[in-house]
C-alpha cells in the first residue's frame, strides 16, 4: 500500500514540475506587476499626502477629489518639477544598470519538487553598494 502512495506522490510531483515548466509562476505579477508598482506607487503617495493635508490624516473619499481646493492645491504644490522627474528616472535607470552589470556570483536555490533541478540566482552581494560609493 505504501508503494502505491509513493508512486502517486511521485506522479503528482512530476505533474507539478511539468506544469511549472509550461507556465512558471511569477511573484507580484511578473513584469506587468513590477511596471504597475512603478506607476501606482507615486499615486498612492500623492493620495496619502492629500489625505494628510486636507483630512488631518484620515483617508479621503473619492467624492473629496471633486472639490476644487484639492485640485488647485495639487496643481499648485503637487506637480513634479523637471528636476524631481530627472532624479526619479535616474534612480530607476541606475537600479536597472546595477541589476544587469553589478551582480555578484551565481548561486543555486533550493531543490525543486522534481528532486533533480535547482534554479540559479544572481546574488547582488555588496557589489552594487560599492559601485554606488565609488
C-beta of residue 131 within 8 angstroms of C-beta of residue 98: yes
Distance of CA 40 to the CA centre of its chain: 11
Q: Which residue has 505533474 as its cell numbers?
A: 15
Q: Which residue has 551565481 as its cell numbers?
A: 106
Cα–Cα distance, 29 to 35 (Å, whole number): 9
Distance of CA 11 to the CA centre of its chain: 34
pLDDT digits (tens, 9 = 90+) for 46-104: 889 888 888 888 888 888 878 888 888 888 888 888 999 999 899 989 888 877 776 67
pLDDT digits (tens, 9 = 90+) for 13-25: 555 555 555 656 6
Reading the block at residue 65, the C-alpha cell is 477629489
**pLDDT of residue 8 exceeding 80:** no
pTM: 0.47
If residue 117 lies in a helix (H) or strand (E), which one and from where to where? none
As beta bridge partners, residue 56 has: none
C-beta of residue 38 within 8 angstroms of C-beta of residue 67: no
Amino acid at each position: 500500500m505504501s508503494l502505491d502512495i509513493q508512486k502517486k506522490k511521485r506522479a503528482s510531483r512530476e505533474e507539478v514540475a511539468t506544469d511549472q515548466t509550461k507556465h512558471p509562476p511569477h511573484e507580484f505579477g511578473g513584469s506587468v506587476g513590477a511596471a504597475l508598482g512603478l506607476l501606482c506607487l507615486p499615486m498612492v503617495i500623492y493620495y496619502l499626502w492629500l489625505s494628510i493635508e486636507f483630512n488631518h490624516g484620515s483617508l479621503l473619499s473619492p467624492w473629496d477629489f471633486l472639490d476644487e481646493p484639492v485640485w488647485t492645491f495639487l496643481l499648485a504644490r503637487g506637480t513634479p518639477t523637471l528636476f524631481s522627474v530627472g532624479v526619479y528616472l535616474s534612480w530607476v535607470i541606475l537600479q536597472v544598470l546595477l541589476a544587469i552589470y553589478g551582480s555578484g556570483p551565481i548561486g543555486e536555490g533550493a531543490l525543486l519538487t522534481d528532486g533533480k533541478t535547482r534554479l540559479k540566482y544572481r546574488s547582488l552581494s555588496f557589489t552594487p553598494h560599492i559601485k554606488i560609493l565609488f
